[in-house]
Amino acid sequence: MSEPRPKSTTPLYPVICSSTLFRYVNNPNSPFMLNWRDLPATTSNQPVVEHLFHLFFNCDFSGTLWNNVLAWCGLERLVDKAPEEWILIFHLIKGKSLNKLMAQAAFAATVYWIWAERNKIMYGEDKYGHKQLFRLITRNVTIRMASLKGRFKDTDANKLAAKQLGRMELIRQPVVKFVKWEKPRNRWCKLNADGSLSSNNAGYGGLIRNEG
């Protein structure tokens, strides 16, 4: 006789980085009479049960995936442990530049697909795995960013984001404007002035001309 599927209301869930934690046993002390067995996860020497901080992104599986997504977004750094990682994330992706919008979309897609992977494991379905999850995340981000119609500042970070998305037209091209001095009309003089200001100094000057 096959084991029953775990209830969706089970308070403890299997960690996605260790297959031994996907087994569950009857536990009379559990509020729902079903619980997950506390076995060591691959990321810990102590018994670990699933919780949000472990899933996002303390375990090796999700941490490595998130690190790869960050690198794809041009954000090369080591993933920290929760809750510090979450604090860094919300500081890192805050803003309206192209690379920030891309990072926001990537974060949302990563959370969604890691949760989908966790559900597949929980209910005994075929897993996606790292490579397929990465492809799904980057595809979601690319599709979501396809609706952007604005123009963004020409910075290295924005250009890298545009290149990854295949949308170089999103980068605002600098406008080169040639300026030359033109002499005034007959019997007129022209004053050209300029000035500068710093925290403790100021300067200005001018030049009056009536011909070229």
Residue 100 lies in a domain: yes
Residue 36: half-sphere exposure toward Cβ, Cα within 13 Å: 29
pLDDT tens for each residue of 139-149: 999 999 998 88
Phi, psi of 67, deg, nearest 5? -65, -40
Residue 105 lies in a domain: yes
pLDDT tens for each residue of 77-106: 888 887 888 888 888 888 999 999 999 999
pTM of the model: 0.64
Q: What is the number of other CB atoms lying within 10 angstroms of the CB of residue 68?
A: 18
CA 38 to chain centre: 32
Higher per-residue confidence, 35 vs 104: 104
Ranked by mean pLDDT, which of 148-157, 174-183, 184-193 comes out on top? 148-157
pLDDT above 70 (res 4): no
Residue in 25, 90, 23 with CA at minimum distance from that of residue 56: 90
Residue 1 lies in a domain: no
Owner of token pair 């403890």: 12
Query: What is the domain range of residue 106?
Result: 19-170
pLDDT tens for each residue of 111-138: 999 988 888 877 778 888 889 999 999 9
Residue 202 lies in a domain: no
Residue 177 lies in a domain: no
Distances (CA, A) of 71 to 2, 90, 170: 43, 17, 21
Residue 2 lies in a domain: no
Q: What is the number of other CB atoms lying within 10 angstroms of the CB of residue 48?
A: 20
Tally of domains within the chain:
1
Q: What is the pLDDT of residue 113?
A: 93
- pLDDT (mean) for 169-191: 83
Distance, in Å, from the CA atom of 74 to the CA atom of 119, rounded to the nearest integer, reads 29
